[in-house]
A and B are shown apart, each in its own frame.
Chain A
Amino acid sequence: MEFFKYITKRILQVIPLLIIVSLLSFFIIRLSPVDPLAELRLNPSISQETLDKEIKRLNLDKPIYVQYVSWAKSFIKGDLGYTSSGEKVSVKLKERIPNTLLLTLVVIFMTWIVGIPLGVLSAVKKETILDRTLTVLASVGMAIPSFFFAILMLIFAVKTGWFPVGGLTSYNFNELNLAGKIFDISRHLVLPTIVLFTISLSGLQRQMRANMLEVLDSDYIKFARAKGLSEWKVLFKHALRNAINPMITLLGFEFAGLLSGAALTEYVFQYPGLGRLILEAVLKSDINLVMASLMMGTIMLILGNLIADILLMLTDPRVRIKR
């Protein structure tokens, strides 16, 4: 019961947050001197009717706060309008969001699978050569600009020919059978994943090492050792479980960082994700598309944080009691 109350409270808190975010971004975009319908106007396949409909729907002839209210109304109803090239925004988002989610989730999964054990290893073997090497590698990984690394990976792909360059699917994707499709997508995912993985792994590994060291220094671990428990049990039954809890809070941040980092990586690899979509939309000053993808990005981020908080409540009894 307590649990559901907390979740409802958190979800209710999200609403004012979304309102402020939408207000902020709406006014920022409307500050732009560019005509949001310029491209629509120049597109010969768009009829005058559609144009008038858009002007009316966006209330471009009315003051800015009226525009905002009407945008918000149609947003709540689920009507996201049309892009400047005449496609439905919702269709475009539906096609891009899963791609970005796929990339981000694969990366998060891999960083956890690799980063947590490395962090533990580094902490247990503190100040050995292994630990120092890992620390140096982590610093190096954190310092590579994602787009530069992506370019290097492209060179690698072109020189070796092992991986396809750009996109998410091959030209003959529709002719492949299911296994072929999965294989094709995975092959396209390898390079963007390597880039994002390297960059987020470093932070995760360092943080896990820090948490583990702190826990290993605590009294209850000393007690567990004094009690004569095997080192294995001390590490994995007592230390690890406590050291991993703060990492769950970090999961939300990691998700946020990945959304941002993915934008540049998606751009270099021509990956059809949300980040590249928003970039293209911004360059064309496509207001509907920018607003919608910005809101979606924000909602994804907030949801990520919410999930992390809920996970933390499930794993850490101390958090449950505190509330």
Chain B
Amino acid sequence: MEIIRKIFQDKFARVAFIVLLLLYLIILFADFIAPYSSTYSNREMSYAPPSQIYTIDERGKLTRPYTYNYVREFEPVLMQTVFKQDRSKKYYIRILPKAEGYKFLGIIPTHRHLFGVDKGGELYLLGTDINGRDVFSRLIFGGRISMTVGFLALLIVFPIGLIYGGISGYFGGIIDTLMMRFAEATMAIPSFYLLIILAAILPSGMTSVQRFALIVVILALIGWAGFARVVRGMVLSIKNEDFVLAEKTIGASNLRIILKHILPQTTSYVIIAMTLSVPSYILAESGLSFLGLGIQQPDASWGNMLKEAQEFTNILYRPWLLTPGVLIFIAVLAFNVLGDVIRDILDPKSRKRI
């Protein structure tokens, strides 16, 4: 609680904290907030632009916000498909309308969404993709993967790094040398090269949950070594302290000394390293998915949504397909800012430096 109070004292950190809180709330209630499900697709409406929302009707009077549906037409002169508004019928935006059914928080079955339009209308806040899927809804569902992958990877990285670094530093000698050479070898491979090689050996035909789990493991595999090395360095200096000697004299086992007495001393470093490394996992996952090696269709992740932005026609004429990139940027920026402030709070020595 003390930490949160201090975070709120810093202007930038406060904004970053609120942004992240909002993002996580949105992905938690994704089914409710998104007007469409992640698999909804309207093949007729491939690459439809964002729906225009009007609040002033044709007589110039203020009304409830409404939108028009798009109709796809073929333009014979330019030889391309264009989307035109069908001005014959207005669709008003509604709060809590009934739409596709889902389970609220995975438990309560319901049909209500946060917002939507009258029956028969279509509301694409950020347009649609090649398969006619609502980009806004997929952004929210994609956030579920992109925003959690980092934390899950950390759950693997930290136990491994702590124990590996702890053992290596505590025992020293030949064990230390062998373990550190191995860690250095994994660090010597350019990390992104290792990442794509590991991702490429994943067999096809896995369920999306399996694939997600394995991507998390792969991300963890490239991150543990650097962390283990720092832990080892800290253990090296802690193990010569008097309290460790005292433990040894009363006959505590090595494992007990490492787990109960040495590793807890590294807590503040661990917290700092955690917040500072989440963004790198978010970036790694999105890069991997962007190349088509990470999360696969039909699942959404911010990285694989950006895959469509690789085509020239898309980036020039369909800029709404770039929105996932903006979200990655916001999330990473918020984590970086928050991480810096948490470091200042937990490690006052660094305050004057950065």
Binding site for B on A (CB under 8 A): 16-17, 20-21, 24-25, 28-29, 31-34, 139-140, 142-148, 151-152, 154-155, 158-159, 206, 209-210, 213-214, 217, 256, 259-261, 263-264, 267-268, 275, 278-279, 282-283, 285, 290, 293-294, 297-298, 301-302
Give the Cβ gap from A105 to chain B, nearest Cβ, in Å: 16
State in angstroms the CA–CA spacing of A142 and B280 once bound together: 10
Structural contact, B181 and A294, CB atoms closer than 8 A? no
* B 306-339 to A, binary, CB cutoff 8 A, 1 in contact else 0: 1001101001100000100100111011001100
Q: Which of B260-310 contact A (CB under 8 A)?
A: 279, 283, 286-287, 290-291, 293, 306, 309-310
Task: Find chain B residues with CB under 8 A from A264 CB.
Answer: 192, 287, 290-291
Whether A155 contacts B316 in the complex (CB less than 8 A), given A16-B181, A147-B287, A256-B190, comes out as yes
State in angstroms the CA–CA spacing of A213 and B293 once bound together: 42
Structural contact, A214 and B353, CB atoms closer than 8 A? yes
Excluding A16-B181, A209-B354, A217-B352, 7 further A-B contacts by CB distance (< 8 Å) are: A34-B201, A151-B309, A151-B315, A152-B325, A261-B192, A264-B192, A264-B290
Structural contact, B193 and A263, CB atoms closer than 8 A? yes
Task: Find chain A residues with CB under 8 A from B191 CB.
Answer: 256, 260
Whether A213 contacts B353 in the complex (CB less than 8 A), given A25-B189, A148-B329, A151-B310, comes out as yes
23 contacts between A and B (CB under 8 A): A17-B181, A21-B188, A24-B189, A29-B201, A31-B201, A139-B340, A142-B332, A144-B329, A145-B286, A145-B287, A146-B287, A151-B306, A151-B315, A154-B315, A260-B191, A278-B193, A278-B197, A282-B196, A282-B293, A285-B200, A294-B197, A298-B188, A301-B188
Structural contact, B306 and A279, CB atoms closer than 8 A? no
State in angstroms the CA–CA spacing of A38 and B290 once bound together: 26
Task: Find chain B residues with CB under 8 A from A213 CB.
Answer: 352-353
Task: Find chain B residues with CB under 8 A from A267 CB.
Answer: 291
Give the Cβ gap from B333 to chain A, nearest Cβ, in Å: 4
Q: Which of under 10, 10 to 19, 20 to 34, or 35 or more describes the interface residues of B?
A: 35 or more
Give the Cβ gap from B279 to chain A, nearest Cβ, in Å: 7
Task: Find chain A residues with CB under 8 A from B322 CB.
Answer: 148, 151-152
Structural contact, A263 and B192, CB atoms closer than 8 A? yes
Task: Find chain A residues with CB under 8 A from B306 CB.
Answer: 147-148, 151
Tell me what chain A mostly uses at the interface: helix, strand, loop, or mixed: helix
Structural contact, B188 and A210, CB atoms closer than 8 A? no
Query: 10 closest A-B pairs (Cβ-Cβ)?
Result: A260-B192, A148-B325, A20-B185, A143-B333, A32-B201, A143-B332, A259-B190, A282-B200, A210-B353, A297-B190
Does any Cβ of A come within 8 Å of B40's Cβ? no
State in angstroms the CA–CA spacing of A293 and B196 once bound together: 13
Q: For A14, give the chain B residue with the smallest CB separation.
A: B188
State in angstroms the CA–CA spacing of A283 and B196 once bound together: 9
Does any Cβ of A come within 8 Å of B236's Cβ? no
Does any Cβ of A come within 8 Å of B26's Cβ? no
Give the Cβ gap from B350 to chain A, nearest Cβ, in Å: 8
Does any Cβ of A come within 8 Å of B106's Cβ? no
Whether A294 contacts B189 in the complex (CB less than 8 A), given A143-B336, A158-B316, comes out as yes
Task: Find chain A residues with CB under 8 A from B247 CB.
Answer: none
Give the Cβ gap from B87 to chain A, nearest Cβ, in Å: 31
Task: Find chain A residues with CB under 8 A from B333 CB.
Answer: 139-140, 143
State in angstroms the CA–CA spacing of A264 and B289 once bound together: 11
Structural contact, A139 and B192, CB atoms closer than 8 A? no
> Which of B189, B306, B312, B329 lies at the interface centre, i.e. has the most chain A CB atoms within 10 A of its CB?
B189
Structural contact, B196 and A278, CB atoms closer than 8 A? yes
Does any Cβ of A come within 8 Å of B109's Cβ? no
State in angstroms the CA–CA spacing of A240 and B21 once bound together: 41
Structural contact, A283 and B190, CB atoms closer than 8 A? no
Q: For B199, give the chain A residue with the smallest CB separation.
A: A282
Task: Find chain B residues with CB under 8 A from A147 CB.
Answer: 286-287, 290, 306
Does any Cβ of A come within 8 Å of B182's Cβ? yes
Task: Find chain A residues with CB under 8 A from B190 CB.
Answer: 256, 259-260, 263, 297-298, 301
Which of B184, B189, B197, B312 contacts A282, CB < 8 Å? B197
